[in-house]
Amino acid sequence: MTTERSPRVVPIDGQIDLVELAQGILRQKWLIASFFLLATALAVVYAFYSRPIYEARASVLPPSLNEISGFNLGRKESDLGVFSVKDIYDVFIRNLMAEETRQNFFKEKYLPTLGDKGAESLDALYNKFNDELQIKASVDGSGRYLISAVAHESDTAAYLVDSYIEMVAGISKNEMLKNIKRDLHVKSVNLEQQINIMRAMAKTRREDTILRLREALKIAEALKIENPPSFEGQTERQLSSIMIGELMYMRGAKALRAEISSLEARESDDSFIGGLRALQERYALYTKLSPDESQVSVYRKDGVVETSDKPIKPKKLIIIVLGAVFGIFLGCLVGLLRIVQFRR
């Protein structure tokens, strides 16, 4: 009876079969274990002794109609356009995303939080700041924006988020108030010019009336008409001529002198200018109107600034696992290189 032997895989010269390779690596298990322990230990040290990083975040939404009503104070009663929620929130978002706002915040708020630790160049610190302060828009169309910041202390992260929102709100509110004051100023200047023109024209008409009365007085004195004659039976047209027309001298010298004296002694024509009081009311409205800054808002904060109770970095478990895997990989790689070297 012939006994068949299992075929033996004979490696080609210069090559290593997989079984021999696995056996060779297993023979170096202590080397691999050493790399595993060393890498794991380094990962543990890094995970537990690196400075923790905390995150703070807050969401902002468009303001309510009640919160923007102060911006529209007096605008409905005039031909000034009324601001919508979108108009005001767009100003806030534009300043929220503006590079100028970030630069000002970086100089005024962020750098002071670093203390003596800000020894890097300003460009490097600004790039770091841009990575730490993030702004993201919601995709649900609600107008929600998420502002988040990271720092080594949770209080610092919350301070950065809250301070940035407040700075943007202050800039936006001042911009809105400045635009409103400019609109009101333009309106008040136009009304003031109209009032001055009406007063100047009234003064001119009064002076013209005085001249006509003086001419009539000369005629009345020449005709020795001291008192007006009886006007019974006169038509309306004739009476009009006597009062303000060519026959004004018929009113008599006495009445003409009294009217001339009254007109010359008049200090103001305001009471005799039709429509002037309405213009003055509007002028007073535009000059005295001022929104109460404490009663208006350009955004609405959705809740409070949320701060993570636990640091978001370093992720200790992930770091330790990756360190252990890297140690095993490195140990196997070194063992493989030793096997190849010994065969040569």
Torsion of CA 95, 99, 102, 104, to 10 degrees: -90
Task: For the chain, list residues with pLDDT below 70.
Answer: 1-17, 20-21, 47, 116-119, 229-246, 343-344
Distance of CA 120 to the CA centre of its chain: 31
Q: Please tell me the predicted confidence (pLDDT) of residue 243.
A: 59
Helix, strand or coil for residue 217? helix
CB 32 within 8 A of CB 326: no
What confidence tens digit (pLDDT) does each residue in 56-105 have? 999 999 999 999 998 988 787 777 889 999 999 999 999 999 999 999 99
d(CA 238, CA 200): 31
DSSP 175-194: HHHHHHHHHHHHHHHHHHHH
CB 151 within 8 A of CB 54: yes
Q: Please tell me the predicted confidence (pLDDT) of residue 167.
A: 96
Q: Which two tokens stand for residue 78?
A: 């005039």
Task: Name residue, tokens 């939404």.
Answer: 61
Q: Please tell me the predicted confidence (pLDDT) of residue 73.
A: 84
Measured in degrees and rounded to the nearest 5, phi and psi for residue 302 equal -90, 90
Q: Which two tokens stand for residue 74?
A: 């007096």
- Write b or e for each residue in 215-237: b if 16 or more Cβ atoms lie within 10 A of its Cβ, otherwise e: ebbebbeeeebeebeeeeeeeee
Strand partners, 133: 149
What confidence tens digit (pLDDT) does each residue in 237-279 have? 555 555 556 677 777 889 889 999 999 999 999 999 999 999 9
Q: Please tell me the predicted confidence (pLDDT) of residue 10.
A: 43
Q: Which two tokens stand for residue 170?
A: 């202050």
Task: Name residue, tokens 């003596």.
Answer: 116
Distance of CA 210 to the CA centre of its chain: 60
Q: Please tell me the predicted confidence (pLDDT) of residue 146.
A: 96
Q: Please tell me the predicted confidence (pLDDT) of residue 12.
A: 47
Q: Please tell me the predicted confidence (pLDDT) of residue 232.
A: 59
Q: Please tell me the predicted confidence (pLDDT) of residue 324.
A: 81
d(CA 342, CA 84): 81
Residues in CB range of 286: below 8 A, 6 or more apart: 74, 78, 184, 185, 187, 188, 191
Q: Please tell me the predicted confidence (pLDDT) of residue 172.
A: 96
Residues in CB range of 131: below 8 A, 6 or more apart: none
d(CA 38, CA 31): 11
pTM here?
0.71
Stretch(es) of the chain classified as CATH 1.10.287: 189-288
Rounded to a whole number of angstroms, the distance between the first and last alpha carbons of the chain is 43
Q: Please tell me the predicted confidence (pLDDT) of residue 15.
A: 53
- Write b or e for each residue in 36-46: b if 16 or more Cβ atoms lie within 10 A of its Cβ, otherwise e: beebbeebeee
Helix, strand or coil for residue 134? strand
Helix, strand or coil for residue 150? strand
Q: Please tell me the predicted confidence (pLDDT) of residue 38.
A: 86
Q: Which of 224, 216, 214, 218 is nearest to 241 (CA)?
A: 216
Q: Please tell me the predicted confidence (pLDDT) of residue 343.
A: 67
Instruction: Among 1.10.287, 2.40.50, 1.20.140, 3.40.50, name the CATH number for the domain at 189-288.
Output: 1.10.287
Q: Which two tokens stand for residue 322?
A: 């990756």
Q: Please tell me the predicted confidence (pLDDT) of residue 237.
A: 56
Q: Please tell me the predicted confidence (pLDDT) of residue 293.
A: 79
Diameter over CA atoms, the chain: 174
